[in-house]
Structure formats: structure tokens, C-alpha cells
């Protein structure tokens, strides 16, 4: 699309583009110069502060790996618990019976409207007050609880969108050969829907990984972000270095997940064996917000 917006460049347009490039470079370089000189003034570029990450394994084995492990553990646990819950809620929202559909809808709309952090704080206090989970385990429990409550309702919408994305002929054909409602869902719709919504599920994993950082900042959960904090205390206030390393790790993980999701999506869209139905990575942002969405209305 973008190439449609402007003509093939003639001499004047080329000159103008060179001018824009020059102006933009100067602005960018000025900003870069300001950042580097400020960092230098504050002594943040000293090799001493960056050394722990490039020589020796202490910083990695003591701080980064354990933190990363906790981040991934919380994310994996939340996904594994939230998936079946979300599937159940999503299928319940498609039920023919109002008394099944309405409560499921209410739960899904409610938890999508509330920030994950509020759910985590609630989980933390809940485990402290009503259970005997030790205070060491509590942050993990709280983070997973918050993530499960929120993501189950988002996944419910992804599942619903996945099922609704299948061509109507699939369920009609299944009914025509005499399958019961449960069988249509279990044998025909769900297996195809799972494939269709894989890209959306992988993108939701990115959201979950990012949200685990809340646990580190607010609930003393020892994950990757909080290990950046600990490190900058231990290695002589190397805030910039620690944050850079941690941010790069997050970027690498999430960028690979995002790329994997769009590769999956492309494969499914091009695939000839399936119906070509797919809930794309782009749909996730929409399904995460409360309210009924257009894609779903069109399909019903």
C-alpha cells in the first residue's frame, strides 16, 4: 500500500528526499549526541559498569537466568491454566442456552475491563488472607492468578472468534450427517478452530510475558525486571547497563514470538488443506478490549 501513496521520484522529489534525510539525520544525531554525552557525564558508559555482562558468567548465572526462569515459568503456567479455562468460557458463550451463555459473557466482559495489575494485587491479598501459601510463593501465585483471570477471558474471545471464523458449511455438513451438538463442536469445529487461532494464541503469549514484569515491579516477584533492579544495586548503580540488557532480552523473546505468530498466520492463510480460516495476530488487540466486536457480529 505504502508505495501507492507517492509517485516514482523525479529529480525534484529526489532532492527533497535527500534534504529530509539530512534534516532527520541531523536531528537524530543531535539526540544521540545528547544521550551519549549525558550518559558519559554521569559516568554510565564506564566499562566497569558494563563489564559484568560481557566477561564472566556471574551476572548471568546469579541474576539474569533465575529472573528469566521465573518470568518464563509464570508466563507458561498462566498460559497452560488459562487455555482450558478460556476454551470453556468461549464455548459457553456460543451455547444455545441463555443460562449458560449469559454468565460466561458477564465473566468475560468483566475481566477484560479490569487492569491485570488490579487482579494481581487482589490475588496477592487473597492468598495472604485466606490460604496458607508461604510468603515466598505468594508473589508467583498472585502473578499467575492475575494473568489467568485476565487472559482466560481474552482467550475465550479468541476461541469464540476461531470457531466463528470457520465456514458455516462445516457445522451444517456435520449436522447433516447426524452428529449431535456436542459432537459437532468436539469432532468438527474445535480441531479446526485450534489451528485457526494458533497465531492469536502465540501473540497473546507476548502480552503475558510482558505482563509478568508487573509482578516484579509491584509484587516483589523475583523475575527478570526485578533482577535488573538488584543488579544495578550490586554492580555500582549501573542502571543504564542493567536496563539495556534486560530490555534486549525481552525484545529478543517477544520479537521471536511475534515473528513466529506472523509466520504461522501466513502459512495458515496460504494453506490449501484447511478452510483458510484464521484468527490473526492483529485480532488480539481488538479481542482484548471489552465490548462486542464487529468481526464476531458479522459471523454470527
Of the candidate residues 17, 55, 61, 220, the single one contacting other proteins (CB under 8 A): 17
Nearer to other proteins, 86 or 157 (CB): 157
Whole-angstrom Cα distance, residue 276 to residue 167? 9
- Does residue number 218 form part of the binding site for other proteins (CB under 8 A)? yes
- Does residue number 149 form part of the binding site for other proteins (CB under 8 A)? no
| Residue whose grid cell is 533465575 | 66
Asked if residues 196 and 278 have their Cβ atoms less than 8 Å apart, the reply is yes
Looking at residues 31 to 50 of the shown chain, list those that interact with other proteins (rule: CB under 8 A): 38-39, 42, 44
- Does residue number 125 form part of the binding site for other proteins (CB under 8 A)? yes
Asked if residues 221 and 215 have their Cβ atoms less than 8 Å apart, the reply is yes
Whole-angstrom Cα distance, residue 273 to residue 278? 13
Asked if residues 116 and 293 have their Cβ atoms less than 8 Å apart, the reply is no
- Does residue number 5 form part of the binding site for other proteins (CB under 8 A)? yes
CA–CA–CA angle 38, 42, 43 (5° rounding): 115
Whole-angstrom Cα distance, residue 48 to residue 259? 35
Nearer to other proteins, 60 or 109 (CB): 109
Measured in residues, the chain has a length of 300
Binding string, 60-99, against other proteins, x = CB under 8 A? ----------------------------------------
Of the candidate residues 250, 260, 262, 296, the single one contacting other proteins (CB under 8 A): 250
Count of chain residues binding other proteins (CB under 8 A): 66
- Does residue number 129 form part of the binding site for other proteins (CB under 8 A)? yes
Whole-angstrom Cα distance, residue 104 to residue 92? 6
Whole-angstrom Cα distance, residue 205 to residue 261? 10
The three three-digit cell numbers of residue 25, written as one number: 539525520
> Least CB distance from residue 273 to other proteins, whole Å?
28
Q: Which stretch binds other proteins (CB under 8 A): 100-108, 152-160, 265-273, 288-296?
A: 288-296
Nearer to other proteins, 65 or 122 (CB): 122
Asked if residues 74 and 143 have their Cβ atoms less than 8 Å apart, the reply is yes
Q: Which stretch binds other proteins (CB under 8 A): 155-163, 166-174, 184-192, 224-232?
A: 224-232
Q: Which residue, among 203, 192, 194, 165, has the nearest Cα to 281 in the 3D structure?
A: 203
Asked if residues 204 and 151 have their Cβ atoms less than 8 Å apart, the reply is yes
Interface residues toward other proteins, by CB under 8 A: 1-2, 4-7, 9, 13, 17, 20-21, 24-25, 28, 38-39, 42, 44, 109-110, 113-118, 121-122, 125-126, 129, 206, 209-214, 216-218, 225, 228-229, 232, 237, 239-240, 243, 246-247, 250-251, 253-255, 258, 282, 285-286, 288-292, 294
Amino acid at each position: 500500500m505504502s508505495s501507492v501513496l507517492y509517485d516514482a521520484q523525479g529529480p525534484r522529489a529526489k532532492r527533497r528526499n535527500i534534504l529530509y534525510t539530512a534534516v532527520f539525520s541531523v536531528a537524530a544525531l543531535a539526540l544521540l549526541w545528547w544521550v551519549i554525552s549525558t550518559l558519559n557525564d554521569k559516568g554510565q558508559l564506564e566499562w566497569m559498569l558494563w563489564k559484568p555482562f560481557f566477561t564472566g558468567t556471574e551476572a548471568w548465572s546469579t541474576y539474569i537466568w533465575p529472573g528469566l526462569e521465573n518470568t518464563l515459568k509464570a508466563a507458561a503456567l498462566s498460559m497452560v491454566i488459562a487455555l482450558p479455562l478460556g476454551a470453556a468460557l468461549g464455548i459457553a458463550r456460543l451455547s444455545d442456552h441463555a443460562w449458560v451463555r449469559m454468565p460466561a459473557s458477564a465473566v468475560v466482559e468483566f475481566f477484560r475491563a479490569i487492569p491485570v495489575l488490579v487482579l494481581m494485587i487482589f490475588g496477592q491479598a487473597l492468598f495472604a488472607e485466606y490460604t496458607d501459601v508461604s510468603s515466598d510463593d505468594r508473589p508467583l501465585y498472585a502473578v499467575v492468578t492475575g494473568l489467568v483471570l485476565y487472559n482466560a477471558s481474552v482467550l475465550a474471545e479468541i476461541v469464540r472468534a476461531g470457531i466463528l471464523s470457520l465456514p458455516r458449511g462445516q457445522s451444517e455438513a456435520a449436522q447433516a450427517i447426524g452428529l449431535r451438538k456436542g459432537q459437532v463442536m468436539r469432532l468438527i469445529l474445535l480441531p479446526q478452530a485450534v489451528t485457526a487461532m494458533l497465531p492469536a494464541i502465540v501473540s497473546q503469549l507476548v502480552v503475558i510475558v510482558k505482563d509478568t514484569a508487573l509482578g516484579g515491579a509491584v509484587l516483589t516477584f523475583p523475575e527478570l525486571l526485578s533482577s535488573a533492579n538488584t543488579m544495578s544495586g550490586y554492580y555500582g548503580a549501573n542502571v543504564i547497563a542493567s536496563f539495556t540488557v534486560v530490555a534486549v532480552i525481552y525484545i529478543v523473546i517477544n520479537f521471536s514470538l511475534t515473528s513466529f505468530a506472523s509466520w504461522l498466520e501466513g502459512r495458515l492463510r496460504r494453506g490449501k488443506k484447511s478452510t483458510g480460516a484464521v484468527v490473526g495476530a492483529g485480532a488480539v488487540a481488538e479481542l482484548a478490549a471489552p465490548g462486542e466486536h464487529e468481526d464476531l457480529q458479522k459471523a454470527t
